[in-house]
């Protein structure tokens, strides 16, 4: 039986931290959901999804109820996790200073962002699409980490598989929204280049996420530069599915924990 095959970030290869950016490989789902679909809200067989989540938890070295997740809504809500739970509160980021708790974030083009301050024993995970990033989910995650005892200049961050600029065509309204709602000191113009389609633009979401993190004072940011749209073998993609008019959507999961 083939196990999950997650991707790792060099910046998070820390003695007290375990992390994984899971791909779609190593699960039991079939068809358009093949194979490690973690979408509990999808039309996939939920028995298969439950087994996939068990495999994720096992890889992270925790019991299933120690793999904590959210009902994600592109919000700026960050939760501090104090213990195991199978509940999924509304929000798009979590932090914890409790060893043995794995924080899991689902994505399918948006940026999965994992945070660690190993020195102070605090980790975090955020789901950052453009709405969440503009709305402040990254800053909310950092604020929650500081509240849990982290220090900004000791926090390292890795951005996992995300839709890349050559695959992400948007309208000028997104450029205008970023220009008006991004903190002063960040020039948003470089995140856009003209599309081959007249009047449209190509947006660099990972670069925008990186800029906001650095502006907030994070010590180091690593972008794994994996394009979810073009790499169908390893990644689910909401935009690819939409362009193909497919009926179902799988979800990737990224997770981080402090070693117990």
Residues facing residue 157 across a β-bridge = 115, 221
Q: What is the mean pLDDT of residues 95-109?
A: 98
Predicted local distance difference test score (pLDDT) of residue 106 = 98
Of the candidates 136, 112, 132, the one whose C-alpha atom is nearest the C-alpha of residue 253 is 112
d(CA 94, CA 221): 18
Residue 220 above 70 pLDDT? Answer: yes
Residue 2 above 90 pLDDT? Answer: no
8 Å CB contact between 170 and 202: yes
Residue 260 above 80 pLDDT? Answer: no
CA angle 221, 225, 226 (to 5 degrees): 135
d(CA 162, CA 31): 22
* Reported confidence tier of residue 225, pLDDT bands at 50, 70, 90: very high
Predicted local distance difference test score (pLDDT) of residue 1 = 64
Query: What tokens were used for 188?
Result: 């948003």
The CATH class, in words, for 10-162+221-258 is alpha beta
Q: What is the mean pLDDT of residues 36-44?
A: 96
For 163-213, what is each residue's pLDDT tens digit?
Answer: 999 999 999 999 999 999 999 999 999 999 999 999 999 999 999 999 999
Q: What is the mean pLDDT of residues 127-155?
A: 97
For 144-172, what is each residue's pLDDT tens digit?
Answer: 999 999 999 999 999 999 999 999 999 99
Give the whole-number percent of the chain exceeding pLDDT 70.
100
* Mean pLDDT taken over the chain: 97
Query: What tokens were used for 211?
Result: 């800029």
Predicted local distance difference test score (pLDDT) of residue 140 = 98
Q: What is the mean pLDDT of residues 1-29?
A: 96
Query: What tokens were used for 24?
Result: 């779609």
């Amino acid at each position: 039986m083939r196990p999950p095959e997650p991707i790792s970030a060099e910046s998070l290869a820390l003695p007290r931290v375990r992390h994984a950016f899971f791909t779609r490989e190593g699960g039991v789902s079939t068809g358009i959901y093949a194979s490690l679909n973690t979408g509990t809200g999808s039309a996939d067989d939920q028995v298969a999804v439950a087994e996939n989540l068990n495999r994720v938890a096992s890889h992270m070295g925790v019991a299933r109820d120690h793999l904590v997740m959210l009902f994600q809504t592109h919000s700026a809500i960050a939760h501090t996790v104090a213990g195991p739970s199978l509940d999924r509160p509304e929000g798009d980021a979590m932090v914890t200073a409790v060893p043995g708790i794995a924080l899991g974030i689902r994505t399918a083009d948006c940026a999965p962002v994992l945070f660690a301050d190993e020195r102070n024993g605090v980790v975090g995970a955020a789901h950052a699409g453009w709405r969440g990033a503009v709305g402040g989910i990254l800053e909310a995650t950092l604020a929650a980490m500081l509240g849990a005892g982290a220090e900004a200049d000791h926090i390292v961050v890795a951005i996992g598989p995300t839709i890349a600029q050559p695959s992400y065509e948007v309208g000028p309204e997104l450029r205008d929204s970023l220009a008006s709602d991004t903190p002063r000191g960040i020039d948003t113009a470089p995140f856009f280049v003209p599309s081959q389609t007249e009047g449209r633009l190509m947006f660099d979401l990972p670069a925008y996420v990186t800029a906001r993190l650095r502006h907030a004072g994070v010590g180091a940011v690593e972008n794994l530069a994996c394009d979810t749209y073009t790499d169908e073998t390893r990644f689910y993609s909401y935009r690819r599915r939409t362009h193909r008019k497919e009926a179902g959507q799988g979800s990737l999961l990224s997770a981080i924990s402090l070693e117990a």
